[in-house]
Structure 1
Amino acid sequence: MSSQAAQQFLLLAKSVRGSAAVDLVTRVLEHPDIFGFDEFLRLEPLVKCLKQDHLQLLSTLELFAYGTLSDYESERTRFISLSPLARRKLQLLTLASLAVHARILPYTLLLKQLQVETVRELEDLIIDGIYAQVIRGKLDQLNNRLNVEYAIARDVNSVAFNRMEDVLDKWCKNCSALLNVLKYEAMKANEQKKKALDEQDKYDKEMLSMVKIIDLQGHNTGRRENNENNNNLSTLQSLSNMLTGNSDSKQGGTKKSARQTTKRIFRP
């Protein structure tokens, strides 16, 4: 859409009345560079003028803003008769609507929706749409389809806007519900993590306590063994002194005493 062309008509539309308003809207519908019409429908003086005396023309303007060729053919009595230029424009707008919703458009679908008879006519129409920058894509003549790369956005009417609002509202509610689920799962995961850390800490403390007990028991056992060894060494030293330090007259009694002492030391 040429914003310059649209702006010129918008300036004129603010002040025209009667037959001048009809002529202006008709020219807008046929203009090769104007593909957006919502701004004209928001001009209250123009809409009021058309509602009073030219309701069919107002419906046709709304058709070009939001509708398709199928809408026109199904309710022709609601609209004015289209000139060849206006009908061609509506075909291009219909093509844009189809291209917005699908990236691959079979020729069979396009032939029906655009109401053309031959593939040659269809491809000429598509090429016109590409030159008018309504769409951008490539003709796949081998597979009889149009591969869409880009399409202009059509105007959005109040019904479609409300539908879009409902869809977005449902999407927001779904996102909120999903967020609550994720928060709950995160809370459970954190609780399980804390529980695992507490159990690990308890296990580590118990293991450390056991190590200390074992170490203390080993230390006490070593002390008792050292004391017993020292006592045995002392006794053996005394025994040695007894064996070597007595006279011959007491030799027999001393040996007997030494044997008794030795038995006492090594008795299990």
Structure 2
Amino acid sequence: MLPAVIQFDDILMLDSVKALRSTSQGNLVGLCEIFLSGSVDDLKDFHKKNEKLFDEHSLNFQDAMSKIRLLTLATMARGQSELPLDDIAKRIQESPTAVEPWVVRAISEGVIDGRIDQLNRKVLVKSAFLRKFEKEEWNFLDSKLSHWIENLEQVIKFLGEQKNKTEAGRTAESPSGMPDKHFDFQALTA
């Protein structure tokens, strides 16, 4: 199994891979589908039903479990700013004391971007790898880009207003660079 491969939606879109679904190798495609959107339980069930497949193709089940745990962590982190370590432990089916190394590995392998808050036993998430990029993700990206465009338009409008105010202030000044208003020094000394 290609240990570094975590992006499966592109693989599953290949015509040659689609053609494998209806062959004796169809279960390999099923395994890729689990990596695309499945869970730890899905992989365990698949392994029970297809143990021979792992042996035939020299697939290491523990390597597959490592991959699905990292991918599950990515799915959990999507759209979240914080993840309790105990919740992660439950979803990846690890003990609460053994979950931190999984988070460190996910960060080091680029599956998530964040840091561990050990005091509060949670992960502070900046971003996460998307296991699949479909219509929902395109809609999310569209809404984010639309929001950024609106913000930039507001900044441009504000800067234009500030420029106009500055230019208007300059025209109110006399040619000597001093304001046209007369300053009353006697009022200061009184």
Cross-structure match for 2:8: 37
Q: How does 1:38-187 map to 2 (within 5 A)?
A: 38-73=9-44, 76=47, 83-119=61-97, 121-156=98-133, 161=135, 164=136
In the TM superposition, what are the counterparts of 1:201-220 in structure 2 within 5 Å?
Answer: none
> Structure 2: which 5+ runs fail to align?
55-59, 144-190
The whole-number CA distance in structure 1 between the counterparts of 2:38 and 2:47 is 13
Cα distance in 2 between the residues matched to 1:78 and 1:51: 18
- Residue 77 of structure 1, CA deviation: 5.0
Taking structure 1 as the reference length, what is the TM-score of the superposition?
Answer: 0.44
Task: Flag the 1:78–1:102 CA change in 2: closer, same or farther, 3 A.
Answer: farther
Residue of structure 1 in register with 2:181 after alignment: none
Relative contact order, CA 8 A, sep 6+: which one is greater? Answer: 2
Q: Which residue of 2 aligns with 1:239?
A: none
Q: Does the 8 A contact of 2:78 with 2:130 survive in 1? A: yes
Distance 1:127 1:51 in 2: 39
How much does 1:76 deviate?
5.0
1:49-78 CA distance string (max 9 Å, x none): 343102221111011112222333456556
Counterpart residue type for residue 63 of structure 1: I
Which structure has the larger Rg?
Answer: 1
In angstroms, what is the RMSD of aligned CA positions? 2.6
Identify the structure with the greater helix proportion: 1
Q: Say if 2:8 and 2:131, in contact at 8 Å, map to a contact too.
A: no
Partner SS, residue 124 of structure 2: strand
Structure 1 alignment gaps of length 5 or more: 1-26, 172-268
